[in-house]
A and B are shown apart, each in its own frame.
Chain A
Amino acid sequence: MTDQTIPDGATPAPGAAAPRLPQVRRLARSARPVWETAFRDPVVASHLQLRGLNLIERHAARFGLVTLGMLLVSILFTDVWRHGELLPLGEGDRLAFLPTALLPATLVTLLIAWTLILWGALTASPLMRLAASLTFLLANIWLIAPAAVDIGDHRALDWGPNAVRVGYYLVPGVVALSGAVARLPRIRRWLLPVFRVAVLGGLSMFFLGQLWMHLAFVDEGFPGAVQELVDGAILGTANILNPLVYVAAVLVVDFSLDVTEGVAVAARDASRRLVRWLLVALLVVKVWVEVVRHLDDWTTYLHDRPWAALHTVTMLVVLAVTVRLVARFRMTRAFDTVKERLLYGSAVVLSLILIGHVVASSLGVFAITELHKDEIPGFLNGYPVNGLLTWGQPILGALAVIFGLWLLRTGTEDGRTRLPVARELGSGLVVLGVWLVPEFVLNAAERNPGFSFPLADIVITLAVAALLAVRWRRTETSDALTLTAITVFAWLALSRGDWIALVGGLFGLPAILVVVFGIVYSVAGDSGFTRVSSKRMPQGSRVLIFVGYLVLSVTTLHWVEVTHAENFSGPFSYLGFYYLGIPWAAWLLGRRLIDLDDRIDEIEAEEDAYEAAVAATGPPTSGEPATVPEP
C-alpha cells in the first residue's frame, strides 16, 4: 500500500500518552484493522474514480451508478416484483414469468447501459469505437425482429418497427462515423456533443420504440411480442454476464482475505501465549464444526470417493508448491494493479468461449432477420462450443503457465525484481495455469473425480494444526497470527461466500447477496483501472464503458432473477469459485498472508509515522485525509 491514507475519523489523539482506554474505544481500536483492511484501504485505493471526468461524463456515470444501485437492491427483493400480474415467457416445460412492470424498467436500464457504453466508446480509439458498434449490433439483433402485428389503430404499431430499425442502425453508424473523425481534433471537439445526442436519440428510438409498441399492445389488451423479444435478447446474450459473476465470485475470496487479514492484524498486540491458545481453540472449534459433527458424512465421502479426496489433497499440494515456488517474494508496488487486471483478465478469458457462442448466435440471427437467409449459416450454427470448452480451455491454461513463467523470468534478474508488474503477473498466471491445466485436462478426458471445498478446508486446517503442534515452542505471535489467518481464510474462502449469505440471511436477504456483494465490491474496491488513462481508452471512456457494462450485466442478472429464468448465477458462481476462486485464494495466500508478519510490522510503522506526522503538523482539520509517508 503506497498511498496509504487514514481518515480523520480514526485519528488518535496527537502526541498523547497512552492512557487506559475505555472498553468501547479499546474494542473499536482492535476492530479498526478489520475495517481498514477489508473496507477502507481497498475503497480508498481502488474505488471507481469519477474525478478527472468532464461534467457530462460525470453525470452520465452517476446515472449509471444510480441505476446499478437500484438494480442491485432490486435483485435482493425480487419477490416484490412478482406480487403483480405475471406473463409467461418462453415455452415448453421451463417457463419463466415476467412481472408486467419489469419490461419497461428493463428497457430503461438497457437504454442507460448502452448510452454509457457507446458514449464511452465515442472518446476511445477508433478501433474501440468499431468494436463497440459491432457489439451493439450483435447484442441487440434479437430485438430487431418485428414485434408488431396489425391490431387496432395504433401509430406505435405502424411506426414503431421502423423507429426501432432506424435506431438500431443509426447508433452504431454514428459511433463508427465518429471514429472516422477521431484524427481531426477541431471537428471532433464540436462534433462530440452532436454524436452523443445522435447516439442517445438512436438508442431512445431503439429501446423506447420497443416500449412504445409494448404500450400499444397493452392498450389493446394483448400481451404482444416485445417481452418475448427482450427475453430472447437477454437470454441469448446472457453469457456476457459470466465475467461479472466470475469476478464477483473471486472478489468474495478477496474480501475474505481482507477480513482475515484485518482480524489477524487486530490481534497483533495480543500475547504470544494468548494467540497460540486462541489458534488452538479456533482449530478445535473448526474441527468440531466441520469434521466431528459430520463424521458419518466424511466417512462416507472418503469411502465412496477416495479419488476425489486424493485429487483434492493432490491439487492443494500442487498449489502450495507452486505458490511456494513462484509467489513467495516480497510484495511489490504493482501488486494491487496486477491483482485487479489478473482478476478481470482471467474472468474475461475464461468466458471467451461462451461469449464467442453469443457472437455466433447473434450473427446467425442477423443472417436470418437482416440478410433474410432461410436458416442460420452452417459455420455459425456449428460453432464448436463443446469442443472449445473441452480442448480450448486446457490450452488456455497451458498458455497461462508458459506466459507466466516467461514473465517471471523477464521480471527477475539475478534474484532481484526488475519489472514488478511482470513478476506479479507472472506469478499469478502460473498459479492460475497450474490449477487450471490438470482440471481442464481431467475434464476433457472425462476423468475428473471432483474437488471438495470442505475437504480442502479441512486439509488446510489439519496442516495448520500439525504445523502448530510440531513448532509449538518456536511459534511466535506473528507466526501464530499468520496460521490463524490461514485457518480463518480457508474457512471463509472455501465456503464460497456462504458466510456472507449467512449474515445476509439474518436480515432476510437471499443467497444472491453473495453475487451482489461481489459486484458492489468490484465497484468500490477493485476499479482502480478506471483511474488511469491510455491513448486507446481515456479515463472518461473507461469509466463509462465499465459502468455501462455493469449496468448491462446486472440488468441481465436482474431479469433472470426476477423472471426465474434459468439459474445463471448459481452455476457460474460455482464455476467461478472452482476455476478462479481456488487458485486465486492460493495466490493471495502466497502473496499476502505469508508476509503477514511483515504486513503487521508495516502497519505498526505506519501508525508510528502517522503519530509522528500528526505531532509535527497537528491533526487534519478538513475532510482531506492526511497523507502518510511510505514506511
Chain B
Amino acid sequence: MPRPLRSLLAWLPAVLIVPAAMAASIQLSEPDHAVNPVSELQPFDLGTTWVYDVLDHGKPSGTHTKQVSMKAGVDFARLDGVAVSGAYTDYPGVGESSSIVYLSLDEHAMYQDGLRQNGQYLKLEPAAPAYELPLKTGGTWSYDGTIGSAGLTMDATIQDITDMTVSGRVFHGCLHVVTDLDFTFDGGGGDKETVEEWTCPGYGTVRTSDSIPAQDVEITEELVEFHGDSGDWFAEEPAAVTAEPQPGDTVGFDAGRTRAVPEGALESTLAWTDLRSADIAYPPVSDGDVMVLGEEDGQVSGMDLGNGQMLWRRQVNAPVIAPVAIGAGRALIADTDKNLLALGTDDGSTRWIHHFADVVSASPTVSGSSAVVVTDDGVVTALDLASGRVVWAHDLGVRTRSAPAVTHGLVVVPDIAGSVVALDLEDGSQRWSRSLDGTLTAGPAADDERVFVADEGGVVYALDAADGGVAWQTRTNYDPEGDFAVSADAVTVRVGSERLESFDLHDGDKRWSRGVADTELSPVVVGDELITVSRKAEVSALDLGDGRETRSWSLPLPGAHTSLAADVPLGLVDGNLVIGTAMSAEAQRTGLFAFPVTATAERRGVSFGSEIRVLPKPPMTAPALIGDTLFVPGLDKTLYRSTGSQDVERVATSQGIQPGVAVRGNLMVTQIDGEFRGYPASGGDPLWKFPAQAPALGMVSAIGEDAVFLPEYGAGLAAASLDGAPLWFTPIDGALGATQPLPLPDGDVFYGSGSAARYDGGSGDRLWSVDGAQLFAPAAYSDGVVFADLIYNTRPSGLAAIDAGTGKIRWFHENANSQTLIGPAAAGGVVVYGDSLGLVTAFDAATGTELWRVQLSTPLAGSPVVADGRVYLAEAGRDEDVFQRDYRMSAHDLRTGAFLGAYQAPGTAFAGSPAFAGSDDGRLMLPTTGRLGATMVILEPQS
C-alpha cells in the first residue's frame, strides 16, 4: 500500500469516530417529544392571540380578544397547562366582560380545567375534554361532571373536516365540531346550549356559533386577527401608528440613550415603591400612563401609573431577555424563542409577533413608525410598529449585543469587533462606519450632533453623527464600562466600578474624575446633578460641574438583617427616577424605588419594612397582631401564637373552624368550638371562658373599652366584661350574618348579624336598627358614622353611611356585588370599599361622593386597611393556579388613590377566607408562602 494512502488510512478511525460520537451525542439529546395533534390544531404557545368580531343575532357586538396569557397549573399532575385570557368589549346582554380559562394537554386530549369569571373560580371536576383524539370526521367525546356547583354534561362530535372561509381568507383542513351542553344548576333547571366551531390547524378556532334557544341567545364569532407561531394575520390591514417619544420609554431614557433628564431635580423622598417576588434584570419603561416591567420568570406586566392598578399580566417564554421598549401603545418584549412580541399597553394582548433567526438580547428602539431591532447574529431589522412586518434589514456581518442609538434619522449600532455603523432609519442603508481600536466597552449614546462610544483601549470617542468623523477623542486611565450620561455640556462615563470621569461635551477635555462607592450601574444626569447608585443601594448626587458630592441617601432596607444590591440599570418612569435592586429579604427578590425628578411626580411614597414569621400552617382566617405577638388561626384548626421569626407556640386546637381572634391590650379573645376564651396576649392559660354557639366564619368577637362583644351564631349577641364576667345577652332572630361586632366610642356596639343595629353597651338593648338590612361583612366607624355594606332581601344592597347616633342613612351606594366577610374601611373623611369583582371605590365619608376607584385583577383578600393617610389593599390573586402572581398588596393615597407602593408576595397562603389584616399601630399582616413554607409577612410602612 502506498505510504501516503497508509498515512491517510491511519487517520480514518479518528475521522470516523469523533464526528460519529458527536453526532450520536447530539442525536441522543434531541427531545423525543411526540407532538400531540391537538396542539398543532389549537396553538398553545404563550402570547398566541385571537381577535374575533362578535355578532349578536347577526348584528355586530364588539370584539372578543383571546390570548394564551401565561403558564398555569390548576393541578399538580398537569403543571404545564396554560391560562387563556378572554375579554369581550360588549358581550351580548352583558357588556364588557373578561374571563380566564385554564387548559392543559396530555397525549390523548386537550382539557379545560376550570374557568375564572366574575371574580370567582369555577373548577371543572373532572377536567372536561376540549378536543380528544383521534381528530377525524365522526370522532366524538363526552363529558359528565361539574363546573363550580353546577352539573354539566356535554357531547361533542366532529361533523367534518373542511376548508373554512373567514373574513375573506380560506383556512384549510378545519375541524367542524358541534358540542351540545347541558347545565344543571343548584336550584334545578338549566337550558341546553349548542356550540358549533371551526378550528383550523395552526390558527385554532376561526369561527364559533353559540346558541341557547330557550334564552334566545345566538352569538357568532369570526376571526379577524391572529398572532402566533403561524405568523400574524389581519383581516384588515392595521392602521399605521407612530410613536411619540416619551422620556423613559426605553432603557437609557430616550432613543439616543443619553440617560439624561435635562430639566428637574431629584428629590430624596420616595414617590412610590414596588416590591416584587421575582428577579428583574432591566428597568421598567413607561409611556407616561402605563409602566411596563419584564421579569426574569417571563412575566410582563402593565401598571397604571396613576393608581397602581395592575392592568394586565402576561407571560412569555422565560426569561425576558432584553430591556422592554415602549411606543405607539405597544410594549416590545423579547423572549428566548427568538420572538419579539408587541403587546398592547392597554390590555397586554399581542398585536404582533416577529420571529427572528437569533435572539434579541439588546433593547429594541422605537422611532416614528418603526421598531429597530438588533439580533445577536448582527442583523439590524426595522419592523413596522403597526403590523410587525419587516421594513428593512441590514446584516452587519458581525455579531452584536448592543442596543442601537437613534439620532436624526440614523440608527447607530456597534458590533463586538469594534466597528460602529450608522444606518439610515428610513431604508437601512449604511451611511457611515467607523472602526475603533478594540471592542466597544461603553455606548453608544447619541445627542443631536454626536455619537459617543468607548473602546477597550480606554479611549472615548465623540463621532460626528453626520459622517462618523472623530470630533474628539480622549483616553481614560481606566476601562470605560456601561453607558454614557450625556448632558448639555458634559459626557460622563463609569470607568471601572469605583470611578466616574466627565468630559467636556464639545472638545473632550476632562472636566473631572472622582472615585465613587463600588457600583455596577451607569450614572444618569438629572438637571445639574449626576446621580450614581452604589452596589449597596446608596444614592449619591454629584455636582455635574465639578463632580463634588452634594448629598447622598440610602434606600430603605426591608429589615435589619436584609440587604439591597442595586444591579438594575436606572429607569425613568413618568417623571420618577426608578432604582431597581435585588433584595435579600425573605419572600422578596426585587425592589423598585421611585424618586421624583419633577414637581408633578411628587407623592408621599411608602416602602415596607418586613418581618417574617414562620407558621406551622397557613392561616384559616385573619390574624391579629399586638406588639410583637402575632396570633394566627391555622388551617389545622389550631390557634398559634408567634413571638419571633421561628418562635411559635400552640395556644389551642378546636374541632371546628376558628373564626378569628380579637386583641386589645394584653387580652386576646377567640372562640374554640363551644366557648369563647380570653387569653393573656403575653401567653399562658385562658383567663376566662364563656359559652358560645357553634363557630362561624366571620363571626369574630370584638373588644371594646370596657367589654368584650361575643357574637353567638344563630342566637344573638353577648357581652362580657374584660375579665370574662357575663354582662348581657341579646337574642337576635336569624343572626347568621358573617360579621363582627363594631364597638363604638361611647361603649355601645354596632352589630349587623340578623339586623343591622346599635346596641347599648351596658344593657344590650337595641337602640336603633336599619329596617330589613343585615351584614355579612364587618362594618367601619369614623366621625360618628358607621359604614356598612348592607344586605337587603327586598331591595338592592349597597354601601351605606349610617348616622351612629340616629341610625339614619346619610347616603347609600347601591352595589350588586357585595363581598362576604370583607367590609369597608374609613378614616380621615374617606371610606374605601371593595366589591366581589375587585372594584375598589373610595367615597367622601360626608357626602358619599366618589373620590377614586381602582379595579383589581381579583377581589380583595381582606378589608382595606387605612392608616396615616393611606389605604392598603390586598388582592386575593388566583389561588387556583399554583403559578399565580396576582396576590399583591398596594398602598394608595387615601384622598386621591394615587399609587404609593406595592408589595407582591410570592404566593398565597390561605384558603379562601380573608387573611390580610392590619394592626392598631398601622402594621400589616400578609400571609404568604416562601422558601420557609407558610409564613406571615409583617409589613411596617415607612415613608
Contacts and interface: CB of A to CB of B under 8 A. Distances in A.
Given A59-B14, A219-B32, A300-B472, A574 B26 contact: no
Most B-side CB within 10 Å, residue of A83, A505, A570: A570
Contacts of B439: 567, 570-571, 574
A570 B29 contact: no
Contacts of B170: none
A82 B437 contact: no
25 contacts: A58-B10, A63-B17, A65-B14, A66-B18, A83-B357, A86-B359, A87-B336, A88-B319, A88-B321, A95-B321, A97-B359, A97-B361, A101-B26, A105-B26, A108-B21, A108-B22, A211-B29, A218-B29, A218-B30, A221-B31, A511-B417, A564-B399, A570-B456, A571-B439, A574-B457
Contacts of B18: 63, 66-67, 70, 112
A462 interface: no
Interface in B303-338: 318-319, 321, 323, 336-338
B880 to A, nearest CB: 23
A491 to B, nearest CB: 15
A537 B323 CA distance: 53
B473 A82 contact: no
A88 B469 contact: no
B29 A214 contact: yes
B13 A59 contact: yes
A511 to B, nearest CB: 5
Interface stretch (A364-372, A427-435, A441-449, A527-535): A441-449
Interface stretch (A128-136, A169-177, A301-309): A301-309
Given A62-B14, A105-B22, A564-B401, 20 more contacts: A59-B10, A82-B358, A82-B377, A85-B337, A91-B279, A93-B282, A93-B323, A93-B569, A104-B22, A104-B29, A300-B472, A305-B473, A305-B474, A305-B475, A446-B478, A511-B398, A564-B376, A570-B417, A571-B438, A574-B456
Interface string A65-90: 11100100000000100110111100
A288 B75 CA distance: 74
B30 A300 contact: no
Nearest to B416: A567
Interface string B14-40: 110111011001101111110000000
Contacts of A101: 26, 29-30
Interface string B448-489: 000000001111000000000111111101100000000000
A510 B398 contact: yes
B543 to A, nearest CB: 23
A296 interface: yes
B459 A86 contact: no
Contacts of A219: 31-32
A450 B437 CA distance: 11
B22 A70 contact: yes
Contacts, number: 154
A66 B471 contact: no
Contacts of B11: 62, 66
A117 interface: no
A152 interface: no
A22 interface: no
Interface in B335-388: 336-338, 357-359, 361, 376-377
A62 B10 contact: yes
Which 9 pairs across A and B sit closest by C-beta, in order of nearness? A104-B25, A62-B14, A446-B477, A570-B439, A66-B14, A93-B281, A101-B26, A450-B475, A104-B29
A92 interface: yes
Nearest to A112: B18
A623 interface: yes
A221 B80 contact: yes
A97 B317 CA distance: 13
Interface in B115-165: none
B336 A88 contact: yes
A190 B474 CA distance: 66
Given A62-B11, A108-B22, A221-B80, A308 B475 contact: yes
B4 interface: yes
Nearest to B415: A511
B469 to A, nearest CB: 6
A66 B15 contact: yes
Contacts of A83: 357
Interface in A117-165: none
B508 interface: yes
Contacts of B33: 221
A570 B358 CA distance: 21
A305 B509 CA distance: 10
User: Of B17, B31, B471, B568, which is in contact with the most chain A CB atoms at under 10 Å from its CB?
Assistant: B31
Nearest to A96: B361
A449 B473 CA distance: 12
Contacts of A87: 336
A48 to B, nearest CB: 13
A103 interface: yes
Interface in A546-574: 564, 567, 570-571, 574
A62 to B, nearest CB: 4
B567 interface: yes
Contacts of B22: 70, 104-105, 108-109
A300 B471 contact: yes
B416 A570 contact: yes
Nearest to A505: B397
B931 interface: no
Contacts of A82: 357-358, 376-377
A271 to B, nearest CB: 38
B470 A97 contact: no
A304 B336 contact: no
B675 interface: no
Contacts of B361: 95, 97, 564
B3 interface: yes
Contacts of B80: 221
Contacts of B397: 505, 510
A250 to B, nearest CB: 17
Contacts of B359: 86, 97
Interface string A98-113: 0011011101110010
Contacts of A351: none
B296 interface: yes
B336 A86 contact: yes
A553 B11 CA distance: 23
B535 to A, nearest CB: 13
Nearest to A303: B472
A480 B318 CA distance: 64
A91 to B, nearest CB: 7
A112 B22 CA distance: 11
Contact of B28 (A215, A453, A567): A215
Interface string B491-519: 00000000000000001100000000000
Interface string A173-197: 0000000000000000000000000
Contacts of B507: 304
B25 A95 contact: no
B748 to A, nearest CB: 59
